[in-house]
Amino acid sequence: MEPKYKINPLTGELQEYVFEYNGILVLRNFTAQVDNDRLVVRSASDVNFSILEALVSEVEIDGVVYDNPTAAKEALQRLVFNQNVPVILPEDERKKISSALQSGGYSGTAQDLKKLIERSSAELSEAFKKAVGNLQIGGRNYLLNSKQTLITSSVNSITGVIGISPDFKKILNEQPTLPIVASCYIRYKNITSTAPKSRLGFEGAISFTDDTSQYFNYWLNVSADDVGKSIKGQRFYTVFTLLPNKIIKDVVVSGIFSQITAEEVEISNPKIEFGDIPTDWSPAPEDLALYEDLIKVGSLITGNVSLNKNHRNLIFFVTVNANIDVKGLGDLGSSSFRKVFNEGVVTFTCESKNIIYTGDNTFNGKKGSTAVVSIYDNDCYIDIRNI
């Protein structure tokens, strides 16, 4: 037989071999270990499992050595696939164990196996946390009634209507070092004067139990050099953290402010969220019941609704005839819907994208009918299953 060579997965070295067991050997009621170039397998009724990655020249099973590759493979197969003794784990269990543990050899009781997998999973989770620890992404808006738009040509403001979720204070008192993103949409056309304060944006204040305070805001500052200039609308943001060693007493949102004059100024949709990256505007969960496009607690759709990225991967129960605008789910977004009333029609719109029906073309079945919407690139896939 001509010699064969392969990289040993445990040492990284190129070595000659005669017999190879591909993958991870998983046995019940046996121990398995590598002794030089030999795979040694022994009966052991008190061992619930044995796992080993083997690259060897010969196999020993209960004291009998098989150095002929064909005989070795047949002996091992007889052992692994013996129908009289449950010596091999089911395929799904084997895959789970293989994915949870690093390459190498293990043997012991069922409790040992449980501890091994739990430890491996914990180490993986901790490593993952460390890898993403420097990138925190928020999403939930903590401003209440924040869907406000100020369009003006003069110094103007919207005050007294935007609130703050009680959860904001609670979370910061428990985790005072969390980064916070303040953002809002701003557009202006042809600035004519930067008086009185040369800025546009929104602002609030945090008061502490020691009678000090801290402003939170986003201000877009302009100067005399900007007179006559315009900018297209975009979301501007800043990241800040709480002053150290403080306990929050109260949080107040002052409002939206234009402190310049121009042919037209627009300031809208402020947002406060945790993290260091701004996300698109969305209403606070507490606000959802205030909108005409209504999504009630419990993911009920009770009227026309426009979904956004915060509604991804949710299951909605549709209770009445409604139009559901799904464009806001965005690329790679998906949501599911179940019709919970008989008769009637639920329609979907996805402006500027190609709607591709992969099941029925109309969501008009009896209660229990389902639909799944998924968006990829410029296509909106709608899979309707009426009953």
40 — pLDDT class (breaks 50, 70, 90):
confident
Choose among 65, 154, 51: nearest CA to 106.
Answer: 51
In sequence order, the 6+-apart residues with CB closer than 8 A to the CB of 243 are: 208, 212, 214
Give the pLDDT confidence of 288-336 residue by residue, as tens digits.
644 434 433 336 677 777 887 777 777 788 888 888 989 888 888 888 8
Q: Which two tokens stand for residue 97?
A: 């164990």
Enter the CATH code of domain 143-287.
2.60.120
361/176 Cα distance (integer angstroms): 51
- Give the percent of the chain with pLDDT over 70: 66
Mean pLDDT of all residues belonging to the chain = 76
Give the pLDDT confidence of 50-65 residue by residue, as tens digits.
555 556 667 787 788 8
66 DSSP β-pair partners = 59
**DSSP secondary structure string for all residues of 70-131:** HHHHHHHHHHHT-SSS--B--HHHHHHHHHHS-SS-EEE-HHHHHHHHHHHHHHHHHHHHHH
Check the CA dihedral 227-229-234-240 and report its sign: negative
What does the domain layout of the chain look like in residue ranges? 1-88, 98-134, 143-287, 299-385
Residue 83 confidence (pLDDT) above 70: no
Residue 358 confidence (pLDDT) above 60: yes
Mean pLDDT of 91-105: 51
283/5 Cα distance (integer angstroms): 62
265 — pLDDT class (breaks 50, 70, 90):
very high
Least confident among 158-162, 281-285, 360-364:
281-285
179 — pLDDT class (breaks 50, 70, 90):
very high
Mean pLDDT of 364-381: 90
**Highest mean pLDDT, choosing among 10-14, 40-44, 141-145:** 141-145
Which residue do the tokens 């904001």 mark? 168
197 — pLDDT class (breaks 50, 70, 90):
very high
What class is the 299-385 domain? mainly beta
243 — pLDDT class (breaks 50, 70, 90):
very high
More confident residue, 257 or 325: 257
Residue 85 confidence (pLDDT) above 50: no
Give the pLDDT confidence of 213-229 residue by residue, as tens digits.
999 999 999 999 999 99
Residue 264: per-residue pLDDT = 94
